[in-house]
Structure 1
Amino acid sequence: MIIKPKVLFILHFPPPVNGAAMVGQYIKDSELINRTFEADFVNLTASFSLKSIGKGGLGKMITILKILKNVFFNLKRKDYDLCYMTLTAKGVGFYKDFLIVVLLKMFRKKIVFHFHNKGVLKSSSNKLNNLLYNFTFKNTDSIVLSPSLSYDIEKYVDKDRIKVCPNGIPEILEDSASNMANVDNNDTCRFLFLSNMMEEKGVLVLLKALDQLKDKKVNFECHFIGAWSDISDIKFNTVVKEYELTNYVFAHGKKYGDEKAQYFLNSDVFVFPTFYHNECFPLVLLEAMQYSLPIISTPEGGIVDLVRNGKTGILVKQKSIEELTNQLQLMSENKILRENLGKAARMRYEELYTLSEFEKNFSAILNNIVANN
């Protein structure tokens, strides 16, 4: 009989729908991970909507106490070989997670942290945070999503204890894949933006670039998919009217499943000009690559490792309207370029970013940590 390592997974699940929560759900549902480990799961989510993230309140305090109670009783009933935790890097979320870290260390557990955000290095200039980080990271391992994100924790974690495990997403259905090359847009280049409608995700920057693209007489459409956030539908439509983009730009709100897939299938280029401070490894870029779309994005977080500049997409300087406009025009007017970039993006997805590849890498890392140190 094979004895499986006992692992307590303390991680986020939807709602809300974000990268960390989606990966958490993939881990929980993974046949390979559950076959490899004797796994128990604790939901670390204390904010159940995008608007409540980073905010306090009595309800959230009660939820945090329930999480602590859940972790405590799991630790009491089972002797885990490893405790895995998706640690929040900074702010109120880190202080909440720190309470759980204290609990894990009281039980003298081997710990691995998995980062879906960043900000440790910047926050460490605060003396209290520096003290808490020293305690948190002592004798622990960490997983980051990209080599470009290791810098954020190297002050506290030895390089040989930092593991890299890129996220992966499930394969699209075969019937969708077979339709990927069948869209004909009659010389109209269709751009797609898909994310929460936040200023830091580059929504207003993109609108301004599209305004300039319109003035260059380029034939295009741009479709925006995502939940309204600090940019409301009223604000968005006001800007669209101001730039006279009504016939070029369309916002559709949140879309999931087949509806979302249809927008990917009907698009030529995926545009994501983010300068979001917490951006690490956007799953939406993996989705775009999966649908053979070339990407225009920025070198934020791990995007520099995800999108190969000039090979699977184009990286532009953050907030640079001129540079973004130029690349939008290039993609609009060069169908062969965007098709070649899109094919290369799909190949890169198949090689590195499938869910099965993530599951294999992730399981190997956890097994290695259990066996060593």
Structure 2
Amino acid sequence: MSSKLNILFIMHMPPPIHGAAMMGKYIYDSELINTTFNCHCINLTTAKRLQDIGKGGIGKLWKFICLLITIIKEVKRIKPQLVYVTPNSCGGAFYKDFVVVQLLKIMKQKTVIHYHNKGVAIYQNKWLDNLLYQHFFKGIKVILLADALYKDIEKYVSKQNVYICPNGIPQTLYTKSIAAKNNQIPHLLFLSNLLINKGVFVLLDACKILKEKGYSFICKFVGGETAEINAACFKEEVKKRNLSKNVIYEGKKYEKEKQDYFEKADIFIFPTLYETFGLVLLEAMEYSLPCIGTNEGGIPAIIEDGKTGYIVEKHSPEEIAKKIEYLIDHPEKRIAMGKAGKEKFLKEFTLDKFENRMKDILEDCISSR
């Protein structure tokens, strides 16, 4: 009979592909975690496409009812020593996950939640949400991606019940990455789904400023279309800014195709308006790219301002343009930043580092009273 302890993981798994789902897949596939514990997994995802996230419907309601039934059956069957959940922090999706966590409490399950999003502080002033949060956070541990994210939940959770576990990603580059590129015209790269809150239009505005200053550059946008911004809409926004010769939308890319864009880029820009961590920044750092990101969520824990890249304020195309301009004019600086970013990635953000942090946290959760 196995002496390993049972953990029930109720977490998001792809599809669709987003940060929480990717980390769920890494945990699910982790040899370290699977050899340490008896792992059982239930997929918390009810949306199959990015466009479906946040939408309701009879189909989703039925899936949710089936999810609750599955949780009840699994808890009774495996009698887990710990249940791990990746809930949403606010809005309609939070109400769904609130029910999941309350069900676990009714069944007297020791529970830890792992936040890959934020928004509690925004909704906590609404009387209903405030009441629900008080019940939701009572008696559970919380895993956050960075220290800066604690302020989002500090009203409800004491620091002693919080773990900090930065994300990590698999190494895809096993040869030495080249910080110095041979591009005659600087290549800028944006890689994320086409969403307004990822800063797509902010970066287009920054590109417009650069062009009006006389800079030559190519800026490639790589990522999936969304209900907010499809290819036709993006093309129209590019045309409005007179950037048709400078900006290229490459569509959705995966694996080797995506890696080719990192290899050829000089500067990576991620001007997100809403973020908890930003896995894509880790990918860029592995490829020795200097990164420009916003002062948002856990991003300042990834980018060391002035050393591995630059942190700028949100909604600031002028500041982004200024940083890009400086890195174009000072290639030696962007090479040095890229090398420093690669060193930081290897030291802190590889998948094995994440797996070891997660294993230690899960063990501590189980052993804690």
What TM-score do you get using the length of structure 1 for normalisation? 0.96
Which residue is equivalent to 1:144? 144
| Corresponding residue to 2:332 among 336, 342, 346 | 336
Q: Counterpart in 2 of 1:21? A: 21
The residue number in structure 1 matching 2:232 is: 234
Structure 1 partner of 2:106: 106
Aligned to 2:264: 266
Distance in 2 (CA, whole Å) between partners of 1:116 and 1:239 is 30
Q: In the TM superposition, what whole-angstrom CA distance separates every residue of 1:110-135 from its partner, at most 9, and x where no partner exists?
A: 11000000011221111111121111
Residue correspondence of structure 1 range 1-373 to structure 2 within 5 A: 3-174=3-174, 177-178=175-176, 180-181=178-179, 183-186=181-184, 188-229=185-226, 230-276=228-274, 279-373=275-369
Q: Percent identity?
A: 44
Please list the CA deviations of residues 310-364 of structure 1 after superposition, one character each: whole Å capped at 9, or x if unmatched.
Answer: 1111011111122111111011111100000000111110011000000000000
Indicate if the aligned counterparts of 2:292 and 2:312 stay in contact, CA closer than 8 A.
Answer: yes
**2:295, 2:137 → 1: CA distance?**
27
Q: Indicate if the aligned counterparts of 1:219 and 1:332 stay in contact, CA closer than 8 A.
A: no
1:105 maps to a residue whose letter is: K
Q: Deviations over 1:221-262 (max 9, x none)?
A: 100001112122222212222222111111011000111000
**In structure 2, C-alpha distance between the alignment counterparts of 1:217 and 1:343, rounded to whole Å:** 28
Unpaired segments of 5 or more residues in structure 2? none
Q: Secondary structure at the match of 1:296?
A: strand
Question: Which residue identity does 1:240 align to in structure 2?
Answer: V
Cα distance, 1:2 vs structure 2 = 6.8
CA contact (8 A) 1:166 1:358 kept: yes
Q: Which runs of 4+ in 1 moved over 6 A?
A: none
SS at match of 1:193: strand
Does the CA contact (< 8 Å) of 2:173 and 2:286 recur in 1? no
Q: Distance in 2 between matches of 1:45 and 1:88?
A: 11
Contact 2:173–2:287 under 8 Å retained in 1: no
- RMSD of the TM alignment (CA)? 1.3
User: What is the number of residues matched between the two proteins?
Assistant: 368
Aligned residues of 2:188 and 2:268 also touching (Cα < 8 A): yes
> CA–CA distance in 2 between the matches of 1:310 and 1:183?
20
Deviations 1:168-196 (A, max 9, x none): 0000142xx3353574112x111000001
Question: What's the CA shift for 1:215?
Answer: 1.6
Contact map agreement 1:209 1:321 (CA 8 A) in 2: yes
